[in-house]
Amino acid sequence: MSAQTRSRRVTCADIMKRKGGEPIVSLTAYDAPMASILDPHCDFLLVGDSVGMVVHGLPTTVGVTLDMMIMHGQAVMRGAKTALVVVDLPFGSYEAGPQQAFESASRVMMETGCGAVKIEAGVYTADIVRFLTDRGIPVMAHVGLRPQAVNVTGGFKAKGRSNDETDTVLAEAEAAEKAGAFAMVVEGVDEALAGQVTNTVSIPTIGIGASATCDGQILVTPDMLGLFDWTPKFVRRFGNARERIDEAIEAYAAAVRNRTFPGEAEVYRVKKD
């Protein structure tokens, strides 16, 4: 459903109802101008902790802070008018237990106005998900490849290569569902495993490096637009924004150097009394 036909903002309940129905469309957003462009096309926008890598130049998402997520969440909420906005809880802001998670999540929701938070959900976070949802904070889970755990797993590696990995991902998904998550991101898993997760849980699955059988899809917007020379295997470039931006900047630099900018249309001529 496009924003032109939406009379109100999408809710978590709306997303839940899409299980097994029309695929859910999502992209990441980190600022107001891009959020306003994405809003008419997306059911929800994720203010992902990927902002640390694609905007701030960090090597992983581990260095992202709660203050950073709140700042970018506020910006996205200013630009998005009808899409549900979900904000990641960053590394270190919820793992200590339910009370820490509630303090972080409630601050995010109060200071940004977003509709939900997302956490990377191992089995150990089930109590956290339940604690949050019982207190009025909708939670989107994230299973499979979990970027915040990169220092334990040894890198960004797809999951599902062994029976143990498959069992772990399924356990994560089932625990998150039972704890009350309204949807879950399934990242970087074997295609068959992604289908198995989708068929096992009763809540929508949002694939990224997973399978077209998921209930929806999400990509990191700068990756999808072709802003970087390298992108993960699972990314399809739907545009070449880097090349077009480079062309525009080259034209601007040339116009400045040959003094054709600013021209007649871009200067002020103040009338004198």
What sign does the dihedral 208-213-214-215 (CA atoms) show? positive
Mean pLDDT of 85-93: 97
Residues 34-81 pLDDT 10s: 999 999 999 999 999 999 999 999 999 999 999 999 999 999 999 999
Q: Is residue 4 over pLDDT 60?
A: no
Q: Is residue 219 left, alpha or beta, with left meaning phi > 0 and alpha meaning psi from -120 to 50?
A: beta
Distance from C-alpha of 239 to C-alpha of 172, rounded to nearest angstrom = 34
> Which pair of tokens denotes residue 126?
């089930």
Q: Is residue 122 over pLDDT 60?
A: yes
Residue 238 pLDDT grade (very low, low, confident, very high; cuts 50, 70, 90): very high
> Which pair of tokens denotes residue 169?
């991902």
Residues near 69 by Cβ (< 8 Å), separated by ≥ 6?
47, 49, 51, 87, 88, 89, 90, 108
pLDDT of residue 154: 59
Question: Binding residue per annotation — 159?
Answer: no
Question: Could you give the residue numbers annotated as active site?
Answer: 187
Question: Binding residue per annotation — 50?
Answer: yes
- Residue 58's Cβ-count burial label (10 Å; 0-12, 13-18, 19+) is middle
pLDDT of residue 236: 92
**Degrees, nearest 5: CA angle 52-214-37:** 50
Please tell me the class of the 3-240 domain. alpha beta
pLDDT of residue 159: 72
Question: Binding residue per annotation — 22?
Answer: no
Contact 38, 3 (CB under 8 A): no
Distance from C-alpha of 189 to C-alpha of 198, rounded to nearest angstrom = 12
Q: Kindly list the domain boundaries of the chain, sorted by start residue.
A: 3-240
Question: Binding residue per annotation — 215?
Answer: no
pLDDT of residue 162: 87
Question: Binding residue per annotation — 49?
Answer: yes
pLDDT of residue 160: 72
Nearest to 141 by CA among 197, 209, 58: 197
CA distances from residue 238 to 35, 177, 243, 244, 245 in whole angstroms, order as listed: 17, 32, 13, 13, 15
Q: Please give the span between the terminal C-alpha atoms of the chain, in angstroms, as a whole number.
A: 56
Within its chain, how far is the Cα of 180 from the centroid?
A: 20
pTM to 2 decimal places: 0.94
Distance from C-alpha of 247 to C-alpha of 134, rounded to nearest angstrom = 52
pLDDT of residue 153: 65
Q: Which of 111-115, 161-165, 252-256 has the lowest mean pLDDT?
A: 161-165
Contact 16, 183 (CB under 8 A): yes
